[in-house]
Amino acid sequence: MPMRSKFRGITVREGIVLHGPRGWGEFCPFPEYDDHEAANWLATTVEQVGADRPEPVRDRIPINCTVPAIAPDRAYDLVAGSGCRTAKVKVADHPGALPEDLARVEAVRSALGPGGAIRVDANAVWDVDTAVRSIRELDRAAGGLEYVEQPCRTIGELAGVRRKVDVPIAADESIRRAEDPLRVAVAGAADVAVIKCTPLGGVRRALEVAAAAGLPCVISSALETSIGLSAQLALAGALPELEHACGLGTVTLFEGDLVADSLRPVDGYLPVPRTAPSPEPALLEKYRHPDPERRAWWTERLTRVWEVLDRRHGE
């Protein structure tokens, strides 16, 4: 699935969709993830196709628009046309990116107006000193940030940044890539927990992780099509409390989708679907990977990861 702009370093998103007794699921771990980590993604797929979803406590989810590392004028247009009152802005896309980041954040503030919320995501690339300097400048450019997501890699670094800045800190990778997400101690290092059910092993597992984090939660996508995204919406719909807009408007980052009625925000909200949408045969064919060797790579990967998941369940 081609991306509209480079996002998370990629221009094309790849994965597999599967069908089971409860409908469709999506298996889309990023290519650099090993089979052990990818097994959590497959567990989410298995849950999607084989289990009923938890009962929702709300029928729609407030959504933030997501702003890639793009020019300020494009960022302004994206936010102004989104209908969202919260924007998540990607920063630190490359070394020396801060001047571009500041201009992008200023454009987003202009598009949102004074009442909108801006959060930024550095994807764990800063050290503590760089994070502190950058956060202070970005906070001024934004006229106040809602929070900064994963400014540094480790829990200890997050805690160090949190002690030195007045902006709330959100933990993402520190939770979902932890050896045991249920036991990672983020409460002293972050103010917000970013939860993604796709890499955590499913909606039910993610609800347990959210409860264990003991922090306000933001549900965010793992860059899925509408098929996989529907599981994230099921998680957001079942979460007991939801204080913040969620990062689930990411289908807009794709040039297309696999379903006819894409899960794209309307007036800043998305509905909570009771099942995953079904792909359109014509769209499956349109976005079928053109390289037979790459299709074989994904099929072989699915087989290997299935074996890992099977062994895990047998332990």
Active site residues: 90, 196
User: Rounded distance, CA 248 to CA 86, Å?
Assistant: 12
Look up residue 275 and give its two tokens: 């099942």
User: Rounded distance, CA 141 to CA 100, Å?
Assistant: 11
Ordered DSSP codes for 210-265: HHHHTS-EEEB--S--HHHHHHHHHHHHH-S---S-BB--GGGGBS--SSSS----
Angle between helical axes of 226-238 and 35-50 (0-180°, round to 10): 80
Whether 121 has a binding-site annotation, put simply, is yes
Q: How much is the CA Rg of the chain, to the nearest whole Å? A: 19
Whether 149 has a binding-site annotation, put simply, is yes
Look up residue 227 and give its two tokens: 């098929």
Distance (Å) of CA 60 to CA 126, 263, 301: 35, 12, 35
Whether 34 has a binding-site annotation, put simply, is no
Which residues does the annotation place in the binding site?
A: 121, 149, 172
Which residues does the annotation place in the binding site for Mg(2+)?
A: 121, 149, 172
